């Protein structure tokens, strides 16, 4: 589903540049549940945003569902995002002024889907996540776990092929975290590819494999493309 080849991401810092990602080579197959781990500043979130087509300023090659993303313009990349990708955030990021129902409707409203069809999709998701009774509540009226449940529901409402989750349980109690991870597992079992960023070994254990990042380098990937795994110099060269 995903092939990254020599993907690099830099920031200009005064006269020089700072590398956030260096020569990243990663393959992710459809139906995989991949965990990205690493210390703060390793480049996890940056990698996630590149996978989510939110970041345009990188170099290298990126194939998504056999499409060469690096050759697509911003508009086409946004189209891929809309069609195939769902996001789950650490701080839930529900829109405060919208009800649960309206929050689920937001991503659908950005696609060319009729109001009638959208209503059906939202209703089906509410039902699937058993939050029908909360559909008219505002985020502030929900607990953290409930908010993240809605966050996940929002990510899947458009039936994405890929869910990108950035520290999805970072703000939750362990029991709530477990519930959410079970949910991810279930979604993955149903065929959705999941890439999560986490610091938690427990959460990582729900996935099929873990990619380790350090200072922008992929330092460990059990399924690294041939000749690419663990190619980074052990704790040097990040320039950060």
Q: 24 or 232: whose CB is closer to other proteins?
A: 24
Q: Which run of H or of E encompasses 220?
A: strand 217-220
Closest Cα to residue 63, out of 25, 108, 104, 20? 25
Residue 6, number of CB atoms within 10 A of its CB:
13
| Residue 2 near residue 16, CB atoms below 8 Å | no
Residue 218: DSSP 8-state: E
Contact residues for 77 (Cβ-Cβ < 8 A; gap 6+): 53, 56, 69
90 binds other proteins (CB under 8 A): yes
Bridge partners for 168 per DSSP: none
Compare residues 84 and 206 and give the one whose CB is closer to other proteins: 84
Q: Which is nearer to other proteins, 108 or 232 (CB)?
A: 108
Q: Which is nearer to other proteins, 145 or 158 (CB)?
A: 158
Within 179-218, which residues bind other proteins (CB under 8 A)? none
Part in contact with other proteins (CB under 8 A); list of ranges 49-57, 64-72, 127-135, 209-217: 49-57
Say whether residue 35 binds other proteins (CB under 8 A): no
Q: Which stretch binds other proteins (CB under 8 A): 45-53, 115-123, 198-206, 219-227?
A: 45-53
* Residue 89 engages other proteins in binding (rule: CB under 8 A): yes
What Rg, from alpha-carbon coordinates, does the chain have? 18
According to CB under 8 A, which one of 5, 82, 128, 223 is a site residue for other proteins? 82
113 in contact with other proteins (CB under 8 A): no
Q: What is the DSSP letter of 194?
A: E
State yes or no: residue 62 binds other proteins (CB under 8 A).
no
- Residues ≥6 apart with Cβ < 8 Å to 234: 219
Asked if residue 118 binds other proteins (CB under 8 A), the reply is no
In this structure, are residues 214 and 24 in contact, taking their beta carbons and an 8 Å threshold? no
Residues that bind other proteins (CB under 8 A): 45, 48-49, 52, 54-55, 75, 78, 81-82, 87, 89-91, 93, 95-97, 106-107, 110-111, 154, 158, 166-167, 170
């Amino acid at each position: 589903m995903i092939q990254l080849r020599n993907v690099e991401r830099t920031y200009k810092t005064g006269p020089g540049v700072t590398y956030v990602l260096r020569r990243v080579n990663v393959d992710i197959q459809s139906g995989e549940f991949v965990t990205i781990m690493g210390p703060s500043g390793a480049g996890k979130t940056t990698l996630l945003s590149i996978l989510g087509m939110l970041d345009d300023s990188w170099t290298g090659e990126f194939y998504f569902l056999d499409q060469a993303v690096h050759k697509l313009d911003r508009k086409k990349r946004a189209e891929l995002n809309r069609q195939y990708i769902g996001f789950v955030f650490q701080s839930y990021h529900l829109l405060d002024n919208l009800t649960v129902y309206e929050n689920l409707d937001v991503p659908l409203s950005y696609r060319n889907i009729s109001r009638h069809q959208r209503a059906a999709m939202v209703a089906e998701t509410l039902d699937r996540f058993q939050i029908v009774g909360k559909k008219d509540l505002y985020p502030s009226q929900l607990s953290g776990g409930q908010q993240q449940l809605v966050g996940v529901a929002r990510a899947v409402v458009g039936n994405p092929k890929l869910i990108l989750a950035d520290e999805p349980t970072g703000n939750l109690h362990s029991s709530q975290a477990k519930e959410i991870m079970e949910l991810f597992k279930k979604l993955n079992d149903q065929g959705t590819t999941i890439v999560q960023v986490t610091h938690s070994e427990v959460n990582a254990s729900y996935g099929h494999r873990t990619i380790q990042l350090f200072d922008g380098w992929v330092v460990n990937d059990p399924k690294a493309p041939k000749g690419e795994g663990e190619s980074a110099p052990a704790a040097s060269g990040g320039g950060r």
